[in-house]
Amino acid sequence: MIGVSVLGATGSVGCNTLDVLSRHPDRYRVISLAAHRNHVLLAEQCLRWQPLRVALTDPQAAATLRQTLAAAHCDTEVLEGESALEALAADSEAPVVMAAISGAAGLRSTLAAAQAGKRLLLANKESVVMAGPLLLAAVRSGGGVLIPIDSEHNAIFQCLPPDWRAGERPAGVRRLLLTASGGPFLDWPAAALAGATREQACAHPRWNMGPKISVDSASLMNKGLELIEAAVLFAMPVDAIQVVVHPQSIVHSLVEYVDGSTLAQLGSPDMRTPIAQALAWPARIAAGVEFLDLIQAARLDFRKPDPVRFPALRLAEAAARSGGLAPCWLNAADEVAVRAFLDKQLNFGDIPAVIEAVMDNFAGGMVEDLQSVMAADGQARHHARIALQRYVSGRLRTSA
Ligand code: NDP
């Protein structure tokens, strides 16, 4: 039995992970689960999985969970606070860690899992974007492996030789082609995009995901963050990574080799495939997904992304080229802007403008240690709040 810790258990990736694990009770044991404050779903998961310990970062939610579990005679230990996430990530009883907390909140626990030498199933792309060099160094010193869960990076991983490890430039690779569904606004005119609602932005045509990544998919910032993630994980220059819009979301990404071969990974748009692949690698296990019917799919379309309607991609490319702490700033600015959009304080069309205003203040800096990253994250959030305020009160002009 292989012990698994699922961080972000109540989210979209977390629930998909538990779904895959439920199909293999003879192979995996859930050791620990963690979330932020959803004690209701976490209580259900505790009763179903009987993990040794769970964590909620919100102490009040943790107290409620303790009461619920005591009343149900469930003796799962309930930890609380940020440091509990790191303790679960490093727990020796779980050699496999799914890092599926959303946003910068997932950074410390992801690093802790890497340092502890885990098989790190990396959904939390933000930790690569914010602190790529630290994460890769932690994986190396911990002696574990990092397997990307983002469907595009997992597809690339599947198209590389089996001895490839995170942070190495794969031999013989000329380019990576990252596919993008284009999101719910693929064919919307710019004028309509400006006033898109939260509900419209979160109604992704192919993938069922949490709210933050859904909004990022709608703005194409998700693809921008993925471009940075690919550049770091596969040690490829930005110019050797092409984003290709592929509305059917069947080809999850491609690797072009110097001999003219292009390898792709195809499958239904269902996160359980990359999750199962990463859990079992190099073996294969059933994931419960619908198998691909190419006759029914009939056609696969590919086109260029539109940089005018989707300026977020351009901003991310610029941050990737700047390197250092620029992607960390970009990530923080995007988190603040998307939160404001989800809270109905900011128009969808203004998200890139707020991010651009933040990036205008970026004065350089390298990823040296966790402190430098957290300081940069704080500075960028500070500028984002100022930009947001100015924007909301109508004084910032959109340059997007
Ligand atoms: P969700 O919003 O659905 O879930 C987020 C999870 O993280 C929840 O369990 C939430 O707990 C937990 N969480 C949020 N903030 C904190 C915090 N401060 N401390 C502890 N736990 C926290 O997100 P997704 O599952 O969609 O995405 C998770 C990650 O995976 C993201 O990095 C995303 O980019 C990436 N990803 C997601 C994909 C998808 O299909 N959804 C595809 C590829 C990558 P609670 O419920 O209590 O708030």
Ligand 1: which of 19, 101, 124 to mutate, most ligand atoms within 8 Å of CB? 101
Determine which residue's CA is closest to atom 17 belonging to ligand 1. Answer: 36
CATH class of 2-149: alpha beta
* Residue range 165-174: mean pLDDT, rounded: 97
* Residue range 323-342: mean pLDDT, rounded: 97
Q: Band the pLDDT of 207: cuts 50, 70, 90.
A: confident
- d(Cα 315, Cα 310) in Å, to the nearest integer? 10
Take residue 247 and report the two structure tokens written for it. 């509305």
Given this model, what pLDDT does residue 395 score? 45
Given this model, what pLDDT does residue 204 score? 83
Ligand 1: which of 36, 152, 228, 331 to mutate, most ligand atoms within 8 Å of CB? 36
> Any idea where the domains of the chain sit in the sequence?
2-149, 150-270+278-321, 323-400
Q: Could you tell me the distance, in angstroms and rounded to a whole number, from the CA of residue 7 to the centre of ligand 1?
A: 9
Lateral strand order in the sheet of 173-180: 241-245, 173-180, 251-257, 262-266
pLDDT of residue 398 exceeding 60, the answer is: no
The predicted model scores a pTM of: 0.96
pLDDT of residue 180 exceeding 80, the answer is: yes
Q: Which CATH topology does 323-400 take?
A: Rna Polymerase Sigma Factor; Chain: A (1.10.1740)
pLDDT of residue 399 exceeding 70, the answer is: no
pLDDT in tens, 270-293: 999 999 999 999 999 999 999 999
Given this model, what pLDDT does residue 230 score? 98
Q: Band the pLDDT of 397: cuts 50, 70, 90.
A: low
pLDDT of residue 326 exceeding 90, the answer is: yes
Determine which residue's CA is closest to atom 30 belonging to ligand 1. Answer: 123
Q: Taking CB atoms and a 6 Å cutoff, what residues make up the pocket around ligand 1?
A: 8-14, 35-38, 57, 85, 100-102, 105, 123-126, 150, 207, 209-213, 271
In sequence order, which ranges of the chain are alpha helices (DSSP H)? 12-22, 39-49, 59-71, 82-90, 107-115, 125-142, 151-158, 190-194, 198-202, 211-219, 221-233, 272-280, 294-297, 311-322, 326-342, 351-359, 370-392
Helix or strand run (H / E) with residue 57: none
Q: Mean pLDDT over all residues of the chain?
A: 96
